[in-house]
Chain A
């Protein structure tokens, strides 16, 4: 006869053995990912941080210069202007992006004829390359012969020179990026919508809720994690804006569409000031972190996704 205590003991030691075994296997399975993460994320980020304290120019110099890159950064009014530029972009772009993609998703979240075709159409711009899209948008936005100003003139409005005027250049970029990105966010929202159980709507309808009430009190709160994902990605995308601005306006007019990444590229690759560019990139990364945290707070996501 084995005493109860002994049984307990051997059971627990077996469990511990099993636990250890599982832990070993677990670590083994995450090892490849962790290694990749280490090699391609942690080490390069660490190196970039180190470079931001040097005058590294790829070819001839790599000396420690302390904080002087960051000191120069504080004086660099153009760099801070690019943050104002992408800040404006984000304030207009992120809410519009959420609103339009949610509306599209709600509209197309039904089993009607032709819905799949429409979903495909709305998604297509996402698949277009930024350069090709920008070429077409330049045509659409041409002050004299573009379609946009053509439509405006039918209403008696003289349209602006969209990409060449300081007031409208960023708006032109917002229009183009919205057109390009609502499709993919619509897909994410569609996935979110499919995950909302039908009984919530059924019981709400029984209690006399209107369609708008359903949207306001069921759909929107249930989509909170999705909204968090979409808005965070949009904010990060806004801070990292580069290719559309590069192709559509080349950062002009009057620096109105220059972005932090644009300057980082210019300093790093055109001017070979990799040390300074690394400092700029680090400040940008910190800004992205801060804004992601703010977005997380605002969404008060109960199930954090990150």
Chain B
């Protein structure tokens, strides 16, 4: 799903480049329109089903009052489009925002802080997931409100575990044991991988379970530590001794042939975004979901991501835009309507406390994980550090081409250099 999404994103990007970034017609036309209504434009990059889900909310908002009218405009490459709009005018009034980008964009002074609105309308910050707010914060100012929160949990194939007489794992030791028992080799051919180790990006979650973190509070890379070593020891054992996985095992399988759906992978960490795929293609698949397992000293660790709504500085009607943001993100009924429409966990806690979530077995493990899940460190260079320094070194380790010591040490030095080069310039 993530791979497919990346491929689609790449496709969109190429099409965008070829088309020469045309399409002046879709620019923002804000201001008071006919009938005295304030017209607002919302930009987002959710197309297809996602577009319809957003439209549902926009329609509901437009019907709920008669002063403001919002229009959703799909932008395939919303961030590039936002860049050009921010420099030559025509910014939208609201942007459907991948929250982690805040650390890069807020220092550039293109987003509208919402603290005053929150004070004015008496919203309670504790009603939102704290970590999600943190991701939208830069230098003590809040730049938007969270719309969705997502996290990963451990999906396991119930039938395979039962056949092997195993219980769903709760600790690292369990995980290793169960994974080993579920793995099936046929000579040199791997038939069933006990546990997916295909995403080295999960290191940030594992290292929390080991009692560490990828970055320190001061904004330095912090992987060359005992905790980092523990993660690599576990991965190294599972990969080379227990042989529960093979590099590239899940590459290039489409949605319908997903390795978990077809029983090629017995356990993996993934998020609620896969539920619909598993339900659609996995007719015979019986799966359970567990919160992420605990580390050697009992530490829990999960990762949080998700979307929010932000108001660009260039908006001509920030007050009206705020009304829309508040209506969608900070109202229990609306947040719940959104959650049910899009199958996402809302960022607004009162909506999450609704029985729709709290009494559904499938959501429970995610809600539990969200209580301790952390967002990516809010450093503008974090993603480039992870992509260019941390993950490449971890890949070398997983392919048995670099020792654990070298891996951690190199990830730390290269990573620190990238963080520094991509830090905020004052």
List residues of chain A with CB under 8 Å of any chain B CB. Answer: 55, 57-61, 72, 75, 77-78, 129-131, 134-135, 138-139, 141-146, 158, 161-166, 243, 246-247, 250-255, 258, 266-267, 269-273
Contact call B104/A272, Cβ cutoff below 8 A: yes
In the complex, which of the residues A130, A158, A258, A271 has the most CB atoms of chain B within 10 Å of its own CB atom? A271
* B108 sits at the interface (CB 8 A): yes
User: For residues 250 through 283 of chain B, which have their beta carbon under 8 Å from a beta carbon of chain A?
Assistant: 251-254, 264
List 16 A–B pairs whose Cβ atoms lie within 8 Å, in order of A's numbering. A57-B108, A59-B86, A60-B107, A75-B417, A138-B252, A139-B254, A142-B251, A143-B248, A144-B190, A164-B248, A166-B395, A243-B10, A246-B10, A252-B391, A252-B395, A254-B392
* Contact A166-B83, Cβ < 8 Å, known A161-B247, A271-B384: no
Q: Pick the contact of B246: A139, A161, A258, A269 (CB < 8 A).
A: A161
Distance in angstroms between the alpha carbons of A146 and B388 in the assembled complex = 29
Could you mark each residue 265-305 of chain B with 1 if its beta carbon is under 8 Å from any beta carbon of chain A, else 0?
A: 00000000000000000000000000000000000000000
* B110 sits at the interface (CB 8 A): yes
> How far, in Å, is B44 (CB) from chain A's closest CB?
18
Distance in angstroms between the alpha carbons of A269 and B16 in the assembled complex = 14
Contact call B14/A130, Cβ cutoff below 8 A: yes
Q: Pick the contact of B396: A139, A144, A166 (CB < 8 A).
A: A166
Q: Chain B contacts of A164 at CB under 8 A?
A: 247-248, 251
> How far, in Å, is B46 (CB) from chain A's closest CB?
19
Q: Chain B contacts of A59 at CB under 8 A?
A: 83, 86-87, 105, 108-110
Contact call B392/A143, Cβ cutoff below 8 A: no
* B422 sits at the interface (CB 8 A): yes
* Contact A252-B392, Cβ < 8 Å, known A163-B248, A273-B422: yes
* B412 sits at the interface (CB 8 A): no
Contact call B108/A60, Cβ cutoff below 8 A: yes
The 5 closest A-B pairs by CB, nearest first: A161-B248, A164-B248, A138-B252, A59-B108, A131-B11
- Contacts A162-B248, A254-B396, A269-B79 given; 5 further ones with Cβ under 8 A? A60-B107, A131-B14, A139-B254, A141-B252, A271-B380
> How far, in Å, is B424 (CB) from chain A's closest CB?
10
Distance in angstroms between the alpha carbons of A252 and B396 in the assembled complex = 10
List residues of chain B with CB under 8 Å of any chain A CB. Answer: 6-7, 10-11, 14, 79-80, 83, 86-87, 104-105, 107-110, 188-190, 246-249, 251-254, 264, 380-381, 383-384, 387-388, 391-393, 395-396, 399, 401, 414, 417, 421-422, 425
* Contact A61-B425, Cβ < 8 Å, known A144-B189, A253-B399: yes
Q: Chain A contacts of B391 at CB under 8 A?
A: 252
Closest to B14 in A: A243
Q: Chain B contacts of A57 at CB under 8 A?
A: 108, 425
Contact call B14/A58, Cβ cutoff below 8 A: no
* Contact A254-B14, Cβ < 8 Å, known A142-B251, A273-B422: no
> How far, in Å, is A51 (CB) from chain B's closest CB?
14
Q: Chain B contacts of A131 at CB under 8 A?
A: 7, 10-11, 14
Q: Pick the contact of A255: B11, B79, B86, B388 (CB < 8 A).
A: B388
Contact call A78/B388, Cβ cutoff below 8 A: yes
Q: Chain B contacts of A145 at CB under 8 A?
A: 253
Q: Chain A contacts of B80 at CB under 8 A?
A: 269
Q: Chain A contacts of B14 at CB under 8 A?
A: 129-131, 243
Distance in angstroms between the alpha carbons of A141 and B249 in the assembled complex = 11
> How far, in Å, is B287 (CB) from chain A's closest CB?
21
Contact call A254/B395, Cβ cutoff below 8 A: yes
> How far, in Å, is A303 (CB) from chain B's closest CB?
33
Contact call A134/B7, Cβ cutoff below 8 A: yes
Closest to B4 in A: A135
Q: Chain A contacts of B105 at CB under 8 A?
A: 59
Distance in angstroms between the alpha carbons of A292 and B181 in the assembled complex = 57
> How far, in Å, is B205 (CB) from chain A's closest CB?
19
Contact call A143/B109, Cβ cutoff below 8 A: no
Closest to B313 in A: A59
Q: Chain B contacts of A135 at CB under 8 A?
A: 7, 252, 254
Q: Chain A contacts of B248 at CB under 8 A?
A: 142-143, 161-165
> How far, in Å, is A272 (CB) from chain B's closest CB?
6
Distance in angstroms between the alpha carbons of A163 and B198 in the assembled complex = 13
Q: Chain B contacts of A250 at CB under 8 A?
A: 6
Distance in angstroms between the alpha carbons of A240 and B92 in the assembled complex = 34
Contact call A271/B247, Cβ cutoff below 8 A: no
Contact call A142/B7, Cβ cutoff below 8 A: no
Q: Chain B contacts of A129 at CB under 8 A?
A: 11, 14
In the complex, which of the residues B7, B249, B253 has the most CB atoms of chain A within 10 Å of its own CB atom? B7
Q: Chain B contacts of A162 at CB under 8 A?
A: 248
Closest to A243 in B: B14
In the complex, which of the residues A61, A135, A144, A270 has the most CB atoms of chain B within 10 Å of its own CB atom? A144
Q: Chain A contacts of B414 at CB under 8 A?
A: 77-78
Distance in angstroms between the alpha carbons of A142 and B262 in the assembled complex = 15
Distance in angstroms between the alpha carbons of A130 and B105 in the assembled complex = 31
Distance in angstroms between the alpha carbons of A257 and B66 in the assembled complex = 54
Contact call A253/B395, Cβ cutoff below 8 A: yes
Contact call A247/B7, Cβ cutoff below 8 A: yes
Contact call A143/B249, Cβ cutoff below 8 A: yes
Q: Chain A contacts of B6 at CB under 8 A?
A: 250
Q: Chain B contacts of A144 at CB under 8 A?
A: 189-190, 246, 249, 264
Closest to B77 in A: A269
Distance in angstroms between the alpha carbons of A158 and B414 in the assembled complex = 35
Q: Pick the contact of B399: A139, A254, A258 (CB < 8 A).
A: A254
Q: Pick the contact of A271: B107, B381, B395 (CB < 8 A).
A: B381
> How far, in Å, is B134 (CB) from chain A's closest CB?
21
Distance in angstroms between the alpha carbons of A265 and B6 in the assembled complex = 15
Contact call A55/B425, Cβ cutoff below 8 A: yes
Distance in angstroms between the alpha carbons of A215 and B368 in the assembled complex = 73
Q: Chain B contacts of A60 at CB under 8 A?
A: 107-110
> How far, in Å, is A83 (CB) from chain B's closest CB?
15
Contact call A165/B399, Cβ cutoff below 8 A: yes
Contact call A255/B109, Cβ cutoff below 8 A: no
Contact call B247/A165, Cβ cutoff below 8 A: yes
> How far, in Å, is B396 (CB) from chain A's closest CB?
5
Closest to B396 in A: A254
> How far, in Å, is A130 (CB) from chain B's closest CB?
7
Closest to A159 in B: B188
Contact call A142/B399, Cβ cutoff below 8 A: no
Distance in angstroms between the alpha carbons of A77 and B381 in the assembled complex = 17
> How far, in Å, is A252 (CB) from chain B's closest CB?
6
> How far, in Å, is A168 (CB) from chain B's closest CB?
9
> How far, in Å, is A242 (CB) from chain B's closest CB?
9
> How far, in Å, is B199 (CB) from chain A's closest CB?
11
> How far, in Å, is B426 (CB) from chain A's closest CB?
10
Distance in angstroms between the alpha carbons of A109 and B401 in the assembled complex = 48
